[in-house]
């Protein structure tokens, strides 16, 4: 694998992060939910992705980019989620970087950041549409905490009746 770095988001990363966010969400969209995904993309861009520094700064979180050979390979965000917990957000990998162990390096990095910040647990959620992610989080030691059907859209879910799975991992 080419030279790999995981580092904090910088303003010059914005265009590539935006493009990958849009691309991955369009890839995930089932044909009967394309309109819902386009609304979700638009909402998430406005509330979060097009204002990463402000969004994560306001929440005392952080946003990380993964570069491989000088190209954006992926990213993830972290934000406090409650007493002793941080939430893993937006863990995305470009298709050409999937399946080679990079996701495991990313989640390990996120767990290290969470521990360094003094939190004990990392929580996350993903949807039924992301079967590879469900298997990955279980393999990485995350336990299913709860399930829900998300009806309303916001910058964390498409809504539209898609089942969401919430996981957690104790990092102590």
- CATH code, 100: 3.40.630.30
Quote the number of domains for the chain.
1
- Domain membership of residue 168 (yes or no) is no
Report CA-CA distances (Å) from 172 to 14, 69, 89, 119, 142. 33, 34, 20, 9, 13
- Domain membership of residue 30 (yes or no) is yes
| pLDDT tens digits for range 43-99 | 999 999 999 999 999 999 999 999 999 999 999 999 999 899 999 999 999 999 999
As given in the structure block, the two tokens for residue 167 are: 């996981």
Give every CB contact of residue 131 below 8 A, 6+ residues apart in sequence. none
- Domain membership of residue 46 (yes or no) is yes
What pTM did the predictor assign?
0.93
CB atoms within 10 A of CB 130: 15
Q: N- to C-terminal Cα distance for the chain?
A: 31
- Domain membership of residue 21 (yes or no) is yes
- Domain membership of residue 170 (yes or no) is no
Containing domain of residue 74, as a range? 4-121
| pLDDT tens digits for range 156-166 | 787 788 889 99
Do 94 and 72 touch, CB atoms closer than 8 A?
Answer: yes
């Amino acid at each position: 694998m080419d030279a790999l770095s995981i580092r904090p988001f910088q303003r010059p990363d914005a265009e590539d992060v935006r493009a990958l966010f849009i691309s991955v969400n369009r890839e995930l969209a089932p044909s009967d939910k394309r309109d819902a995904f386009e609304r979700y993309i638009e909402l998430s861009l406005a509330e979060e992705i097009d204002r990463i520094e402000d969004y994560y700064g306001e929440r005392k979180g952080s946003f990380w980019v993964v570069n491989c050979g000088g190209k954006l390979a992926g990213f993830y965000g972290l934000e406090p989620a409650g007493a002793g917990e941080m939430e893993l957000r937006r863990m995305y990998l470009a298709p050409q970087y999937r399946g080679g162990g990079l996701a495991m390096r990313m989640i390990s990095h996120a767990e290290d950041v969470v521990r360094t910040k003094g939190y004990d647990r990392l929580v996350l959620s993903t949807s039924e549409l992301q079967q590879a992610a469900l298997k990955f989080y279980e393999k990485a030691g995350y336990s299913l905490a709860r399930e829900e059907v998300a009806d309303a859209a916001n910058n964390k879910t498409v809504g539209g009746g898609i089942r969401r799975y919430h996981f957690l991992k104790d990092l102590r």
